[in-house]
Amino acid sequence: MCGIVAFIGSRDASPLLLDGLRKLEYRGYDSAGLATVTIRENEKEGFVTCKRAKGKLVNLVELIEQSGAPGHLGIGHTRWATHGKPEEHNAHPHRDASGDIAVVQNGIIENHNYLRQDLEKQGVSFLSETDTEVIPHLISKELQRLLDLGKLPSGSVLLEAVIEVMKLLEGAYAIAVIWSKTPDSLVVVKKQTPLVIGLGEGEFFCASDMPALTGFTRTILPMEDDEMALLTPLGIELYDVNGQRKNRSPLFLSGVDQVIDKQNFRHFMLKEIHEQPDTAELWVSRYLSNDLETGAFLGGPYDAPIFESIEEIQILACGTSRHAGMVGAYLLEQFAGIRTSVFFASEFRYAPPPLSPNTLTIGVTQSGETADTLAALAMEHQRRTSLNNIEFASLQLGITNCPESSLALQVSNILDIGAGIEVGVAATKTFLGQLLAFYGLAINIAARRKSRSRTEIRNLCRELKAIPSQIKDLIKNHNQMAESLAHRFADTEDVVFLGRGINYPIALEGALKLKEISYIHAEGYPAGEMKHGPIALLDQRVPVISIATPGVVFEKVLSNAQEAKARDATLIGIGPKIPETEIFDFLLPIPKVSEWASPLLTVIPMQLLSYYIAAQRGLDVDQPRNLAKSVTVE
Ligand code: AGP
C-alpha cells in the first residue's frame, strides 16, 4: 500500500528518496512522487520542487533525471489509489495553492469531504480527488494565521500549525510535511498508520516501513500513535498531539539487513516458494529442538502461566493469514481439543460475538500492519478492559513475520515466524510460517491439557521434523510438473478448488493465490458443498483441483471428485500416488503423511501451479494489479 520516505541532512535528498521508494516498490503502488526544499543563492527563503508520475517508479526517476529536484530535505511517496484514480494529479505530494507546503500521507482522512467543502466555500480550488489534498490547504491557512499573529517562520511554527490541523482530521494516517520557508525542518505525524524515524550521522530519515531504511541506518525510533516529530539536521524533537515534549530512546536493530534480492529467480514469488524449506527448518530448530523422547514438547514461546487457563481461542486475520488461522483452528479443536473460532478481522471489529470467558485472542498478520487486524485486536482489548476482563484483555498473541511492526507495539505476546522479508504480494513462505506457528500452539496446548497422549504428540512432532526436507523435495519435483500443467490453463477462465477438513482452508488458499496473480476467477469450496449449488458451474472448461489425502474424509473427497468428473470437468488431484488417486486426470503427488501434517505439503503444488499459470500469462506476478503487500487502510 502507499509508502512514505523522508530525508533531512546534508546530502542530496532526491537520490536517497528514490532509493527508499525503490525499496518500498514491492508493497504495491500505482504512482509516485517526491518534493524537496532548497534555497536559491542570495535568497533567504527556499522553494519547493515537486515531481510526480503515474505508473512505475522509473517514470519518476526519468522525470527527475530530466529536470532535477534539488535540496537536502525532501519527502517521497508511492501511492496506491483509494480516493481518485491512479493519475499524476492524484499522486503525492500534494501542495497548497502557493506551492510552498508539500505533504505526503498514508491512510485515510475520513472527514475529507466535509473539510473539502468547507475549504471550497473559503475559495480554495482543489487539483486532485484525493482525501490528502485538504491537509496542505489547512496547514497553509493555519500558518497564515500564525504569521499574522507576528510569529516568524520556523520549524516550531510549522509544528504548531500541524498540531492544529491534526485536531481537524479524522481517520488513521501518517503524514510528512515540508515548507519552503523552513528549509531545515521536517514535520512527521503518526496516527494508527506506521511510521518509523531512522537516525543517521547528522541526517535523519523517516519511512512508513523498515525496508525503506535498509542501507541508510540501523538506529530507529518507531513512532507511537498520536505522536509527531520535528526533524532538523541537528536532531529529533518528539511531541504528543498537544505539543508536549516526549522522550524515548532509539533502538538499534541487530541481525542482518533484510536484503531485497531476487537472486537468479525470475520472480520474488518463485524465490520465496523455494525458501520454504528454510522457513520450516528454522521453526523446527527453534521450537522442536527438544528431545522428543523426554516429552518436553515446546512448540512455541508460551511460558506465561495464564496460558494454562485458556478455555477458548478466537483468531482474527485477513486473506491468506485467515486461511492459516483456519488450519490453526482445525488443529486447536480437533488435535488439542480447545474450542476455537476464526473471524475476518474486518467483520469482527463491527460484529464481535458475545464475550466468552478465558479466551485467548490471536491476531495473525505477516506484515503486522494490516489495519483491519490491528483495529479488531484493539477493539477486543478495549471491550474486555471495559468489562473488567483485564487479564484476558491483555492475553493477546500476535503471529507475524515482522516483529518490529505495529502489531508488536500493540500486542504483548509475539510469535515471530522468522521467514525473512517477503516481497511478492502473494504470500507463500509467510503462510507456511503461520501454519507452523499454529502447529506449535496446538502441540503446546495438547500437551498442557493432556488432550492427546504423549505418543500422539510425539508422532506429530516427528512428522513435523521431516517437513523441511519433504518440502524441499516437493519443490524440486513439482517445479517442472506444475510448469507443464500450467500450459493447459492458457484459456481457462474459471477454476474450482476442493478440499475438506484440515485441507479445506488450503483449497481456499489455492483459489486466492490463483486469482491474485493470474486474474483467473477461482472458487475454493468444501468438497461436500459442491452439490448444493456450485456444481452448476462445472463443464469441460472448468478444471477442478481437488486435495485428496488419506484421512477421515478421504473417500468422501474422492466421491465428490467423481461428481465433478461426471460433469466433464478436468480433474487435478493433490495427494499421494496410490491406487485411489488414479481417478484424477492429473496428479500432483505429495508424500504419504498423516492428515494432520498434510496441509504443510498440499499447499506447495498449489503455489507452484498458480505461479506458473500467472508467469506464463506474462503477468506482473510480484505486484499484481490493484493489490498491495500490506493493507494499511480499512
Ligand atoms: C495474500 O497472498 C494476500 N496478499 C492477502 O490476502 C494478505 O494475506 C492479507 O492482506 C493479510 O495480510 P497480512 O498477513 O499482512 O495481515
pLDDT of residue 306: 64
DSSP bridge partners of 586 = 572
Specify the residue for cell string 474486518. Answer: 346
As a whole number of Å, the end-to-end CA separation of the chain is 12
How far CA 573 is from CA of 371, 501, 554, 581, 589, in Å, comes to 36, 16, 12, 7, 8
The reported pLDDT for the residue numbered 262 is 81
Q: Which residue has a Cα nearest atom 15 of ligand 1?
A: 367
Q: How far is the CA of 105 from the centre of ligand 1 (A)?
A: 22
Cα 430 to Cα 296, 299, 426, 433, 434: the distances in Å are 27, 17, 10, 5, 6
Q: Name the nearest CA neighbour of 211 among 367, 63, 356.
A: 367
Cα dihedral 194, 200, 202, 205 sign: negative
Is residue 77 within 8 Å of residue 174, measured between CB atoms? no
Taking the CA of residue 425 as reference, the ligand 1 atom at the shortest distance is: 4
Spatial distance between the Cα atoms of 201 and 597, rounded to a whole number of angstroms: 50
Q: According to the model, what pLDDT value does residue 623 have?
A: 86
Is residue 441 within 6 Å of ligand 1 at its C-beta? no
> What pTM value is reported for the model?
0.81
DSSP designation for 343: E
Whether residue 405 has its Cβ less than 6 Å from ligand 1 = no
Measured in Å, residue 23 CA sits from the centre of ligand 1 at: 19
User: Ligand 1: which residue has its CA nearest to atom 7?
Assistant: 319
DSSP conformation letters of 94-118: EE-TTS-EEEEEEEEETTHHHHHHH
Looking at the CA of residue 631, tell me the nearest atom of ligand 1. 10
C-alpha triplet 474, 477, 482: angle, nearest 5°: 95
| Binding site membership of 119 for ligand 1 (Cβ less than 6 Å) | no
Model pLDDT, residue 566: 86
Q: Is the CB of 623 under 6 A from ligand 1?
A: no
C-alpha cell at 414: 509475539
Ligand 1 within 6 A of 374 CB?
no
Q: Which helix (H) or strand (E) holds 512?
A: helix 504-518
Closest atom of ligand 1 relative to the 426 alpha carbon: 2
**Grid cell in block for residue 28:** 504495491
CA pair distance 24, 8, nearest whole angstrom: 19
**Ligand 1 centre and the CA of 613: distance in Å?**
20
Point out the residues of the chain with pLDDT beneath 50. none
Q: Cα(175) to centroid of ligand 1, in Å?
A: 24
Half-sphere exposure of residue 51: CA atoms within 13 angstroms, side-chain side:
20
Structural domains of the chain sorted by starting position, each given as residue range(s) with its CATH number in brackets: 3-252 (3.60.20.10), 261-452 (3.40.50.10490), 477-621 (3.40.50.10490)
Task: Check pocket membership of 321 for ligand 1, CB cut-off 6 A.
Answer: yes
Could you give the angle at the alpha carbon of 227 between the alpha carbons of 141 and 210, nearest 5°?
110
CA angle 431, 436, 437 (to 5 degrees): 95
Phi, psi angle pair for 297, to nearest 5°? -85, 120
The pLDDT tens digits of the residues spanning 106-137 come to 998 999 999 999 999 999 999 999 999 999 99
Catalytic positions, written as ranges: 2, 629
**Which of 1, 80, 318, 417 best tests ligand 1's pocket when mutated (most atoms within 8 Å of CB)?**
318
402 alpha carbon – ligand 1 mean position (Å) = 13
Q: What is the dihedral of CA 165, 169, 174, 180, to 10 degrees?
A: -30
